[in-house]
Structure 1
Amino acid sequence: MDAIVSGQIVTVLLGLTAIGFAVWEIALQRRLRREGIRVKGVVVRHAVSTSGEARSRHAVVSFVDADGVPHEYRSTLSGTRKLPIGRQVPMVYLPGAPTKARIDIGSRRWGEVAIPTLFGMAFTAAGILWMVSSAGVRHH
């Protein structure tokens, strides 16, 4: 298998993996909406992560579950302008699984699904288009 075909397959698989993550997130959020325990949390800090030269900030929310056990949740989405330190935020988690907590704000829930979906669709489409355009070049 040549390097171009390998790259095409990797691109499509990366896209399908991102779409799979989005589907998993949708299923989790549906369960959270039906079965989730809602509590209040407080933004306690902003974690900074770097990827190459790009830096992003993620809100870290502290909350206490129904059993009185404290937990921290680091938002998967970057951006903290609307989540300043000290702000109270609604949280939701599955019974017995507070590690599957999410910030219970509509825009945050939507972003956790939309971003991997768009990323996945873009990579899958790019990989397929790359395959189709390469196949057309080979046949001429």
Structure 2
Amino acid sequence: MRRNGVGEGRGEVDAIVWGRLVPVLLGLTVIGIAVYEIALQCRLRREGVRVRGVVVRHTVSSTGETRSRHAVVGFVDADGTSHEYRSALSGTGKLPVGGEVPMIYLPGAPAKARIDIASRRWGQVAVLMLFGVAFTAVGLLSMVSGIGVRHHSL
């Protein structure tokens, strides 16, 4: 509550600060994930084991009214163990069930496999980076536009 038309209640200020800080923190977290993925992609290119996988099925995920299809690819590592990889990037649902797909994974870490199609590998990084930068920019712009703005009542 305001007194004498000056100041804002502590809860109101905290809500405004958090409302502006959350997008920045979310954006920086997503950028961090993108940087991790870039490092992993570089390591896969240097040290990765390439194998052929087969699309075994598609999964559907939904966010609100948006539905996305993701390919699930089965592959066998150098030790003869079977694994499945679900693509994090939507649009891989266009890969036909039963179709062969090049895969790449780190030796001893087949859980870090990726579909070995450059546009798919780097597309995931680009999407993450785009969202991370967008959230961070929105939060920072909100913070900057709110600096020095005071509401006075008569």
Pairwise CA distance, 1:80? 3.2
Counterpart of 1:50 in structure 2 is: 62
Counterpart of 1:36 in structure 2 is: 48
Q: Where does 1:1-140 land on structure 2 (aligned, <5 Å)?
A: 1-80=13-92, 82-138=94-150
Structure 1 residues 109 and 80, CA gap change in structure 2 (3 angstroms) = closer
Where structure 2 has 5 or more consecutive residues not aligned to the other structure, the ranges are: 1-12
Pairwise CA distance, 1:132? 0.7
> Conserved in 1, the CA contact under 8 Å of 2:75 and 2:83?
yes
The alignment of Structure 1 onto Structure 2 pairs a total of residues equal to 140
Q: Which has the larger radius of gyration?
A: 2
**Distance (whole Å) between structure 1 residues aligned to residue 141 and residue 79 of structure 2:** 52
**Distance (whole Å) between structure 2 residues aligned to residue 139 and residue 7 of structure 1:** 18
Compare 27-36 and 129-138 and name the one that shifted more.
129-138
**Distance (whole Å) between structure 1 residues aligned to residue 32 and residue 113 of structure 2:** 19
Pairwise CA distance, 1:110? 1.1
Q: Give CA deviations for 1:50-94 in whole Å, capped at 9, x if unaligned.
A: 222221110000000000000000000011354111110100000
**Distance (whole Å) between structure 1 residues aligned to residue 33 and residue 43 of structure 2:** 15
Where structure 1 has 5 or more consecutive residues not aligned to the other structure, the ranges are: none
Counterpart of 2:3 in structure 1 is: none
After superposition, the CA RMSD in angstroms is 1.5
SS for the counterpart of 1:113 is helix
Letter of the 2:69 counterpart: R
**Distance (whole Å) between structure 2 residues aligned to residue 44 and residue 138 of structure 1:** 59
**Distance (whole Å) between structure 2 residues aligned to residue 138 and residue 70 of structure 1:** 62
TM-score by length of 1: 0.95
**Distance (whole Å) between structure 2 residues aligned to residue 83 and residue 11 of structure 1:** 34
TM-score by length of 2: 0.86
Q: Sequence identity, in percent?
A: 74
